[in-house]
Structure 1
Amino acid sequence: MPAKLSVNLNAIAMLRNRRDLPWPSVTGLGRIALEAGASGLTVHPRPDQRHIRFSDLAPIRALIDAEFPGAEFNMEGFPEEGFMRLVEEHRPEQVTLVPDDPAQSTSDHGWDFRRSHDLLATIVGRLKRLGLRVSLFADGEPDREALKIARDVGADRIELYTGPYGGCHDDPAEAARIVALLGETADIAFDLGLDVNAGHDLTVANLPALVARIPRLAEVSIGHGLTADALEYGMAETVRRFCRACGQDL
């Protein structure tokens, strides 16, 4: 089955936040994305609300529940207590835990599973008791022992951090090397019983090689590149282009 596309709404929210005005509409563009074939919407509500605002979460939840009941809401963030309260209030289908410092501009590394074992065990257990799927942000270097910890603390999936892959857009040899490493990491995860997502700096150009190497890839979460393309092609056509790049037959 082709990878599903979850559209990250953060860049849209950041553009809106440049003015004290309600446009571009986060829910309006989310609706267009879902109508065009996206399987879900992703947000990363940071404590300073510099892009997604806490007040966006209920309308996004309501949009999915009322109009797209087959779609999924994915909330990602560092598991501090404020984020956990938001998760408990809005009940996303999936929670993606990232090891970000609140001051970071964007996620740029996966969990150190060895050092974070106890924290993750506690947090993942709390989320699983709510009946939520849990994905843990993971670096692309194959490390079986680290991924075994991800499984043992109760995660359902990992999300491969693909920033280095996106960063070598002008170096085909390096891109091929990184795809091979990402594929090895995914193979280990599958062998351990984990499903695999991917996200960060993925584009229409680099997705096909990734999904060819990881045909069991469950989901990609894409924001920056997709939003940039939407300025050129429009949101609906951009979503269709990304879905096709994932291998979907639209």
Structure 2
Amino acid sequence: MTDLSVNLNVAALLRNRREHPWPDIVDLARIALKEGAAGVTVHPRPDERHTRPGDVWALRNLLDTEFPDRELNVEGYPDARFLSLVHEVRADQVTLVPDDPAQATSDHGWDFRLQCTMLSDVVATLKANGHRVSLFADPDADQMALAALTGADRVELYTGPFGGAHSDSVVEARELEQLASAAAAAEAQSLKINAGHDLTVSGTGKLIARIPSIAEVSIGHALFCDALTFGMAETVRRYLETCGSGPETRRA
């Protein structure tokens, strides 16, 4: 079973275009969680172009009051502002990403050869405060041993190149094997596997079929694109069916 965490940044980006309270990301999160999503993901960037600290707090309140068995995953670069927020909001999982503030989206993982020491210090602090820690990682098998040295619980494998190869079966297969190799190397170091970026329903199915041990996928852009056609509830159900983690499975 692979858990689905619904990334709400796209909905917040749409809301912010007009500075109206809609779409209401708390309402959208509620729909996803009612359908059986394991949690929600946000990435509150410093420029607040999509989710903002206030959104993170509103989602924490939703989880505490209505879905206490689900998780809040907060992504971001580990500067002082971010670390203070995830501590105060009691993020269940903190996913550290190496983003420059100017980046449009996360598009590469950490260089563990260069940043292992810094990450080790951050991971130790976060784990001492009770957070599970995941590190955004390129699908590079050679770096997984270094990732494990940081003390992190998980790596989130960057699936952007795999997702971007949707129209080229040869490239898609090559990228999938690279992800599988990295996952195997991570698991050999006792790291659990998360995955995310540009995962469609079809791509998610192929990924999980090849790497069934994936603990969690975090999906936003493709999910909200599908929601324009199928609606939020039906789209979440489609992803959950692909993940094998619908409400019945969660209760089992």
Normalising by the smaller structure, the TM-score range is over 0.9
- For structure 1, the 5+ residue unaligned runs are none
1:34 is aligned to 33
In structure 2, what is the Cα distance between the partners aligned to 1:190 and 1:222?
Answer: 22
Contact persistence 1:211–1:247 (CA under 8 A): no
Q: Secondary structure at the match of 1:228?
A: helix
Using the TM superposition, give the Cα deviation of residue 248 of structure 1 relative to its aligned residue in structure 2, in angstroms: 3.3
Alignment map for 1:59-70 (pairs within 5 Å): 59-70=58-69
1:209 is aligned to 206
1:244 is aligned to 241
Provide the TM-score with structure 1 as the length reference. Answer: 0.97
1:56 is aligned to 55
**Letter in structure 1 aligned against 2:96:** L
Using the TM superposition, give the Cα deviation of residue 15 of structure 1 relative to its aligned residue in structure 2, in angstroms: 0.4
Answering whether residue 167 of structure 2 is matched by residue 153 of structure 1, we say no
- The counterpart of 2:186, out of the listed 184, 189, 208, is 189
1:55-81, Cα deviation, whole Å (9 max, x unpaired):
111110010111011110000000011
Alignment map for 1:1-250 (pairs within 5 Å): 2-143=1-142, 146-248=143-245
% same residue:
56
In structure 1, what is the Cα distance between the partners aligned to 2:32 and 2:74?
Answer: 17
In structure 1, what is the Cα distance between the partners aligned to 2:172 and 2:244?
Answer: 19
1:178-234, Cα deviation, whole Å (9 max, x unpaired):
111101110111111000000000010111111011111000000000011111111
Equivalenced residue count is 247
**Letter in structure 2 aligned against 1:80:** D
| Superposition RMSD in Å | 0.9
- For structure 2, the 5+ residue unaligned runs are none
Contact persistence 2:141–2:186 (CA under 8 A): no
Runs of 4+ displaced beyond 2 Å = 247-250
Provide the TM-score with structure 2 as the length reference. Answer: 0.96
Contact persistence 2:194–2:216 (CA under 8 A): yes
In structure 1, what is the Cα distance between the partners aligned to 2:173 and 2:7?
Answer: 25
Instruction: Select the structure that is richer in helix.
Output: 2
